[in-house]
Amino acid sequence: MNITLKNGDLMTLEENATCMQAALAISEGLARNAICAKVNGELVDLSRPLNEGDSLEIVTLKDKEGLQVYRHTCAHVLAQALKTVYPTCKLSIGPVIENGFYYDVDFVTPITAADLAKIEVEMQKIIKSNLPIERFTLPRKEAIELMKGYSEDYKVELIEDLPEDAEISFYKQGGFTDLCKGPHLPSTGKIKAFKLMNMAGAYWRGDEHNKMLTRIYGTAFAKKDEMEAYFTMLEEAKKRDHTKLGRELKLFALMNEGKGLPFFLPNGMVLKNALVEYWRQIHAREGYVEVSTPIMLNRSLWETSGHWYHYRDNMYTTKVDDEDFAIKPMNCPGGILAYKNEPHSYKDLPIRMGELGIVHRHEKSGQLHGLFRVRCFTQDDAHIFMTREQIKDEIKGIVRLINEVYTLFGFKYHVELSTRPENSMGSDEDWAAATDALRSALDDMKFEYVVNEGDGAFYGPKIDFHLEDSIGRTWQCGTIQLDFQLPQRFEMEYIGEDGGKHRPIMVHRVVFGSIERFIGILIEHFAGKFPVWLSPVQVKVMPITERQAGYAKEVYEMLKAQGIRVKLDDRSEKIGYKIREAQMEKVPYMLIVGEKEAEAGLVAVRRRDKGDTGAVTAEEFLQTIQKDIAGKIAF
């Protein structure tokens, strides 16, 4: 039989040859590194037989899917170890998550973090045994009986909830069997580096009315040195924790009086306003107009947009004069009403409409996390209304803008193009045209991107930007979403060149995303050492003794008059103490004024990360810092 390889080459194999046999036929090295395979785009075990005409791709740990399968097998090894050490425990689910896996377990006698070490020892035994991992399927009734025989009540419930015609598969390794869709590693011995991390409580199926289970988290990597690098990164992340630095640098506060509703303090407002000012500058340059829409609008609007039916659990609602209102969770419907406020011609388009809108979303208290997950935030939205012919150029303009912003902050990033999901709205023609426009824009700009099949919004395809910070973590921030549906729902129109009424195309896009979340990311990315243009305090002037206080104040007043964010530290403290305090506050520049400096009309410049850089006149220093601010230079 013939199969097609990833590069398009044909390969001839014997009938019913497996994916592993195909890998061996390609090379022994590939077979040795193989984790699983993709057959006709579907992830499968290496033991899967092939058929005439199949397309085949061998997956290794260099592939994202390979690492996910590797980690999922670790979850099964954890489950087997738990059943060995605690035979009465009941297993529920054990999925892969970013950087690792977890398993939710119901224990008769609760365990503690101290027990993780002995569980790891048992896992090492299972790995060392190199147990083959075998897949089999059962009819629904037999599958339920099998899990009842093992007293796995949660597995029985999962099977009962599957569709009647679903294929029910299991994986067996040694004496342990688990319900699972797969795929998995060929054997447990393929696992080289893992670590159990911690434990937490988790409700069964995420429902607070269900029983609280114990969730055991773990991580796994292809090599030990990769895992060590990951733990080094975690330690660095602890030092950069934005909630800790936000408190120390007096940027924001989180209070019980408003859970999930951050309070921005004076230093934080300086930082936030600097970002907003930058946002306004670049958007004005790019031809955007700015609007502000109400924070609360009536029910009929949210019914038209679909949010009342599909998003109401995340919305805050109230009544005004016996009429239902909702506080906006998104800015889009208000932006549409702003567009509809007056008639438009094709000559008006594209209209690029930006809004720094405050939105509220009801997040569960257990999901709140610093500035990363809040209930109130400022979304740097923009909605672009255009003709079909303008889509490609507008997308390219947005991509250029997002690239400019992320490059300024020193972020690397990768791009994903997400295509039509199963529960989408709209015609095949609209989806094809929209997806082609996004793809073509990225291709024209020679952007590398990954296609994320089926992960678009229900109303249109999208481009997502995943930025990488200074210690290698990724964050999804920028997004560009094409929307054919809301213009239709709201009966939006423009008068075309032919004099007839036409429906505009709408693009939703953000650059920062949530400004609050972006600030949290910046705090951790820079470890609180913001570039000069963003720093709440840019300079501290510090006289060594009281005799230089008068000259220090003159320098302070001169810098302040030029718009520099400067503070004067003329306390009767030793200069070493003042410098240490300024370093802790991560002030970019410290100006030390001693007797020599005061007599010569100079300032001794000390930089946050470089120490003393020499003495200059106050005017020379002013030119230096103004250049840093104007060029938004990061150091």
User: In angstroms, rounded to a whole number, what is the distance separating the alpha carbons of residues 55 and 588?
Assistant: 57
Q: How many CA atoms lie within 13 A of 545 on its CB side?
A: 6
Catalytic residues: 332, 361, 379, 381, 383, 462, 508
Backbone angles phi, psi at 581, to 5 degrees: -65, -45
CB 385 within 8 A of CB 353: yes
Q: How far is CA 174 from CA 150, 353, 600, in A?
A: 15, 61, 83
Distance linking the first and last C-alpha atoms of the chain: 61
User: In angstroms, rounded to a whole number, what is the distance separating the alpha carbons of residues 365 and 596?
Assistant: 58
In 3D space, the residue among 162, 194, 165 whose CA is nearest the CA of residue 72 turns out to be 194
Amino acid at site 394: E
- What 3 state SS string does 253-319 have? ECCHHHCCCCEECHHHHHHHHHHHHHHHHHHHHCCCEECCCCCEEEHHHHHHHCHHHHCHHHCCEEE
Element (H, E) at 144: helix 140-149
Partner residues linked to 457 by β-bridges: 460
Tokens 């569980």 locate to: 119
- Cβ neighbours of residue 429 under 8 Å, at least 6 residues apart? none
DSSP 135: E
